[in-house]
Structure 1
């Protein structure tokens, strides 16, 4: 029996890059391929909660990670008019020397992850993905889209919501579904009072403000979009303002400042949760390829980073790959399932305008669950 010595990661997003660093920490050879020819980053900012701070510390990334964002402790829950309902204290899951949470721009996060993976010796190739996989009991032979070939002990599909690896190995019938909602995002200068994550509950929409740096924050608002309509880019500012009509307070004041459609990032919410197991032989899926969720609990990226921590930790062991991947499932499946199902539930309540919805209860439960070790 020999341990895993060489791994191919397909996909250079948050999960794939985190895994690359985790594996290189353990001396495992890593090739990473990313289909994009240029590493463009989609989105505005991202919420990284206590479990992600801990995961980054486990990957040896905490100091660089924390230096690129805005650390904060608490989560405030507000009415649509801006009246405080409850302030939930954060948990310093990574230890007393670390903050409970972090807001960070997606570009800054990508720069931290990609630069660290490269510095630790990951072989990274852009504009490339997998064309063909052939497994046998000893490994996986891979043909890439440029005609080159490689041989690996394990292949990891970290290639996102529309994963090619998932389609190749698990079948094309597993496809994402549109939930009925979308999210609009926009950056703003950060006022001093937004020193925490602030969530605002309307009857049909959920808005929020997340600090990203000393000077920057982002605003998000969720909306029902039946039929997943195409949104003309020239109308995005107007459409975002329209979805914010029920909000007063600071959200209402910011609404009137949204005038440039090019500053608005719009994304339909699409989800997938693949039944267990998430592996076939020596090919395993992680992150959005297998458990893409909605942003209602701010845990999509966090679950991908946790996948990377657990998988890199297990692959250091000298044991059959089947046994290691089975243990990966034991540690990841129920936790990810809870996040996906709970996030979707909040979105369903928003679309239904449910007056008895216990969104605060779900947020509290999420904070309890994610504070637990992985």
Structure 2
């Protein structure tokens, strides 16, 4: 993957041999590095190898992005809802045209198999764009007459108005999928956005912002600022011109986001950590089949989805049989490599993926796995 010479919006992600690439910010319709030139290393967790660099932005980059979004929101809020919906459909069309590029970038950033990125992440992102484009015209507004209390009638009206600038902070497990879930409703309802993707999976966010420009979005409507949470996420949450924050991530960070937003009475949407229980009863029928289903529910996307099973309660009468069946399923489950979805990587590469530290040679010699 590489950006064509010249960079900027003229650059295109081209599917060539894997080459080092620099993931840029997209601010006010332009691709740019961090204001101070700093970068982060972008690591493919499936291999442990560096695949390029990421703009390491700071508060000044956030300030520029918010200012651009403010300017864009003034024009955008006055556009017809049908026009906003058409933009989302056009973005969906353009991502579909470049779907192989988006799949490969998502796979490299996250380490997930191409098959998973191609069957879930990118298609669902496109579906989100289309869903909100089609649903927005049917959002209800209402008016209800009532007794005014002064001998006449009053009319109560419910209307929807854009907030202005919305901040979006997204995680690394389903990068574009979850970002699209935030961008689409914000844009179709007349807002401008500043997005801060995870520094672990940065690429498709900037690619999507570029596609918005290609689709005809005003400059500054969709901005992406790359970098770390404390250096980008915090100033984004605290910025007085950002009227709402949508955050998906860990509970501890979400608590900080909620507190900061509360000081300014900002609207928040916080999707945080969850624990999902599976209950297995002794009348479940085929224990092995149930164990297979429970294993899939636990290990899909390496277990890195908020809805994956993380606690299992088993009725006493089948506890031993079910536990053994689940262990057997876990033992035979393939550990997918990046480009060959059905082949396991080496134990060493898996250890790098999990913990990022040197693998003990004696452990590998004994056939063990690191965790």
TM-score (norm 2): 0.24
Structure having greater relative contact order (Cα 8 Å, sep ≥ 6): 1
- The structure whose residues are more often strand, as a share, is 1
- The structure whose residues are more often helix, as a share, is 2
Structure whose CA Rg is larger: 2
TM-score (norm 1): 0.24
